[in-house]
Amino acid sequence: MPFVSPPTAIERGHTMIGIEKILAHIQSESNAECKAIEDSAAQECGRIRAEAEKTEQEEYRGLIDTGTKDAELRVERLNSLAVLESKKQVLATQQEMVAEAFKHAAQKLLELPESEYISFLAAQACNASLKGDETIFLSPSDHQRFGNKVLDASNSALRAAGKAASLTLSEKTADISGGLILSGGDIEVNCSIDALVAEHKNDLSPKVASVLFD
């Protein structure tokens, strides 16, 4: 085996310098690569952050738009309900006032002067009588105050109309506030004040409402 002399100090020095250069070069490339990776990572992070912010803003705007539309719809529904409720209250008030008007009209009939009230009852009996021999039933108050006067006036009205006039007055009274009930055989005609008002209520309600509210 041939003899190889060991490197001299100078040679060793050159060798070390070469190694250091190589290491420095590697370190430089490594640093550059790391810097490039860091920059790329930073850019990627920035891009992701920007996209996330954009997405959040879009979602936020979407939530705001949705919330605004929902609020507008809710306000619209509430306004519609308020208008409907207002109309219902107005209608209910009008109906109450019309009912009160008819109640007042019935009370006015009951408060007619005696002669006018008796004539009113006699006219009802004359119009309702079919044979002229029916029985008159009055309210307890009317029966006690002027039962016989009503009977006489009713038969007089029948004779004036050219009809048979033999109505009778029942000793029993009817559960009515005023007016009369005419009964003959199986036929009973309710001419009480309440019945007369109720009979004409449907026909007269529009006219009463027109007078009250127009």
pLDDT tens for 154-183 read 999 999 999 999 999 999 999 999 999 999
d(CA 175, CA 45): 95
pTM of the model: 0.55
CATH topology of domain 112-213: hypothetical protein PF0899 fold (3.30.2320)
Q: By the 8 A CB rule, do 146 and 118 touch?
A: yes
The whole-angstrom separation of Cα 113 and Cα 54 is: 89
CA pair distance 151, 129, nearest whole angstrom:
13
Which of 25-39, 126-140, 186-200 is predicted least confidently? 25-39
Contact 194, 179 (CB under 8 A): yes
Q: How far apart are CA 127 and CA 158, in angstroms?
A: 9
DSSP at 174: -
pLDDT for residue 196? 86
Neighbours of 130 (CB within 10 A): 13
Residues 77-133 have pLDDT tens digits of: 777 777 767 666 655 666 666 567 768 778 888 999 999 999 999 999 999 999 999
